[in-house]
Structure 1
Amino acid sequence: MNNILITGSNGYVGTSFMNLYNYNFEKFSLLNQQLEEVKFDNINAVLHCAALVHQKSECPYEKYYEINVEYPVELAKKAKLAGVKQFILISTIAVYGEEKEKLDENTICNPIKPYGKSKLEAEKGLLKLNDDSFIVSIIRAPMIYGKNAPGNIDSLVKLVKKLSIIPLGKIENKRSFISIQNLCFIINEIITHQKSGIFLASDDEAISTSRLIELIAKNLDKKIYLVKIPFFESLLELVKPSIHKRLYGSLEIDNSITKEKLNLKNPYNVEEGIKLMINGE
């Protein structure tokens, strides 16, 4: 499996994987190229990272469906006809929905938002193509953190850099994330051992928002004071419910089934992953 066609090569996961692993990569851009232009000569596997993710402006579901369902399924069909052996989709825990506080590979999927719905439809379409000659691998990931990663953890890093007193003390929730190094390691294991099926990628330990902020501050060598202000949580829930949910809500992932299937041990724990992120590695 030395020759890999990668989509979304300019995105965070695609770029990181190419930087960390030494395959022969062929790149394909859904934005700038047509599916008819794809060449599968000597390609062993397709790593599909491209996706339309959550949009700030209103975006019709049809657009999510076109990019997140039709493109990967059509790409996989072409790959299978060309004799490619494996297709790996980077999916999301958004396929499980919004309300669950604990989940594993057997948790029932009930996506609420267009992104999660379209990713689940893509998974279903791709898994229909799976057989002895064409391995389909689905990797469901939570929020990814690491050097230059987009998302909420980067916002927390900026907050810690800016403030010395932060009103997010004594939060006792549990949230699972995955470092980009651990995610790329799982992708590589799935390619190396040609494993099919659904895999749930996460760091082994779920941590609280307060603990996450403490780890960020520690690695920034920044002295902070985490305080608990009684009315702050209720005010935030009233004014910004989505932010409140991310900061105070729990979303804990049990990745034991995936680890057993892959005989996997994550190379980094949460503390090491945060250190790598802050150090820019």
Structure 2
Amino acid sequence: MRILIIGKNSFIGRNFIQFSKFKNITEVDSINLVPNEFDYSNYDVIIHLAAIVHQTKKIGIDEYIKVNTELPVRVAKKAKQDGVKQFIFLSTTKVYGDISSLDKPWTEETTCNPTDAYGKSKLLAEERLLKLADDRFQVSIIRTPLVYGKGVKANMLNLIGLVNRIPLLPFKNVKSYRSITYVGNLSALIDCLIEQKIGGIFIAQDSEPVSLEDLVLLIAGSLQKRVVLFNPGRLVIKMVKLLFPFVYKRIFDSAVVNNEHTKKILNFIPPYTTIQGIQETVNWFVNGSK
């Protein structure tokens, strides 16, 4: 099985090469890639990872569309022409929107309502890619929430650093829940899609969502740090919501998926627990984040 990853040296790509049972894997740098001129005929599967994710600096919707929508569609069209059998596109649960809950989680069938340029560009790519699918060209879409593991950046890395530095944190009884995905579980899901050659829309996550309070305690345990959690109180929560709505959303809102359909159709069980995933991520952090 010959696999080509679009997006060289990415966090997910590096880990997929490590975890995957397939070993004939090649990466290509998307920056210098000319999709219509590249010869994909030597590959059976394309995994498209290249994307612009959330940026601190202001980037217009046009740039998101160019990289997150137009690039993968151009690659897929040429790959199909060259005889590639399967195109796997890494999407995001941001295509659904911002907030869901344990009693009303997002599923593979949930109507999408993205609220930012990132989610909108990914959804548009999904729609255009699925139109290319036929019996000879499978298009597999993986919608994933936050992915963590060795080499992770942004939110998860910041949270580990926070727990490592500060022994007193205001997360007691904060019952916001998040679906998260250990990169080892994501890699296993990708392997499963390749083995079964199945197209459609799939969702990745660990076996079950985790509350922010429990996630902090898992990280602290892996760090072997004693952390005391306290309740921030209603007044503080209201002030955060009023003055720092972006921070409030990240801490107190839930974003939960239910991927029972994915697991059933693929007969898939995530091979790693969240505890194992957090421990591996923390070990990487403690050893210098190399």
Instruction: Report the TM-score, using the length of structure 1 for normalisation.
Output: 0.96
Question: Which amino acid in the other structure matches residue 233 of structure 1?
Answer: I
Pairwise mapping of residues 68-217 of structure 1 onto structure 2 (< 5 A)? 68-101=68-101, 102-217=105-220
> Structure 2: how far apart are the matches of 1:117 and 1:278?
32
Q: State the shift of 1:26 in Å.
A: 2.5
1:64 partner SS: helix
Q: State the shift of 1:249 in Å.
A: 1.1
Instruction: Give 5+ residue unaligned stretches, structure 1.
Output: none
* 1:240 equivalent among 234, 240, 244: 244
Equivalent in the alignment of 1:63:
63
Equivalent in the alignment of 2:230:
227
1:35 partner SS: coil
Moved more, 225-234 or 75-84: 225-234
Q: State the shift of 1:244 in Å.
A: 1.3
Equivalent in the alignment of 1:250:
254
Question: Which amino acid in the other structure matches residue 129 of structure 1?
Answer: L
Q: State the shift of 1:104 in Å.
A: 0.7
Pairwise mapping of residues 29-48 of structure 1 onto structure 2 (< 5 A)? 29-48=29-48
Structural RMSD (CA): 1.4
Moved more, 97-106 or 210-219: 97-106
Moved more, 8-17 or 177-186: 8-17
Q: State the shift of 1:184 in Å.
A: 0.8
Equivalent in the alignment of 2:8:
9
Cα deviations by residue, 1:180-224 (Å, 9 ceiling, x for unpaired) = 111111011111111110001011211111110000000110011
Aligned length: 280
CA contact (8 A) 1:175 1:208 kept: yes
Q: State the shift of 1:33 in Å.
A: 2.6
Equivalent in the alignment of 1:267:
271
Equivalent in the alignment of 1:278:
282
Moved more, 159-168 or 131-140: 159-168
Cα deviations by residue, 1:40-72 (Å, 9 ceiling, x for unpaired) = 232101000001111222212111111111111
Question: Which amino acid in the other structure matches residue 175 of structure 1?
Answer: R
Equivalent in the alignment of 1:28:
28
Q: Among all aligned residue pairs of Structure 1 and Structure 2, give the percentage whose two residues are the same amino acid.
A: 38
Instruction: Give 5+ residue unaligned stretches, structure 2.
Output: 286-290
Question: Which amino acid in the other structure matches residue 87 of structure 2?
Answer: F
Moved more, 4-13 or 213-222: 4-13
Q: State the shift of 1:245 in Å.
A: 1.3
> Structure 2: how far apart are the matches of 1:130 and 1:273?
34
Question: Which amino acid in the other structure matches residue 17 of structure 1?
Answer: F
> Structure 2: how far apart are the matches of 1:57 and 1:181?
30
